[in-house]
Amino acid sequence: MKKVLVLCTGNSCRSQIAEGYLRHFAGNKAEIYSAGIETHGVNPKAIEVMKRDGIDLSAHTSNNINEYMDIDFDFVITVCDNAKESCPYFPSNAVKLHHNFPDPAKATGNDEQVMDKFCEVRDLIKEYAKKFAEDYLV
């Protein structure tokens, strides 16, 4: 079974959303993990925006990359430039992929405007995760 790690700065929004969608689209074809260079806790707005699309992140935890150093990943996906630049060396043959998604946690405005940004980023990540599963987890 393939092992996939999604990596971002704080493992609070983008990597959590990607983990949720990759689990959804991969089914039983892969084990999906997410982590951050740091841990910031799972953002409640990420949980809410995924709930709106039928995916429950409420039991997710924010994990540090160091927790997974002993796992031989097949794929490491960085979802922000900071994580790509700061990603520690993995002693494996993991295929490294990168896509810089906007950080919805930095959205400003009223509650509706902030949630609109979360929805926008969620939809971008959903599309990416679906394509990744179709291309790499067949």
Q: Are 102 and 121 within 8 A, CB to CB? A: yes
Rounded to two decimals, the pTM is 0.94
What are the pLDDT digits (tens) for 40-95?
999 999 999 999 999 999 999 999 999 998 899 999 999 988 766 766 555 578 89
Q: Are 119 and 8 within 8 A, CB to CB? A: no
**Dist. CA 111–CA 45, nearest whole Å:** 10
What are the pLDDT digits (tens) for 49-60?
999 999 999 999
Domains and CATH numbers, the chain: 2-136 (3.40.50.2300)
- The residues carrying an active-site annotation are 8, 80, 87
- pLDDT confidence bin for 27, thresholds 50/70/90: very high
With left for phi above 0 and alpha for psi between -120 and 50, is residue 27 left, alpha or beta? Answer: left
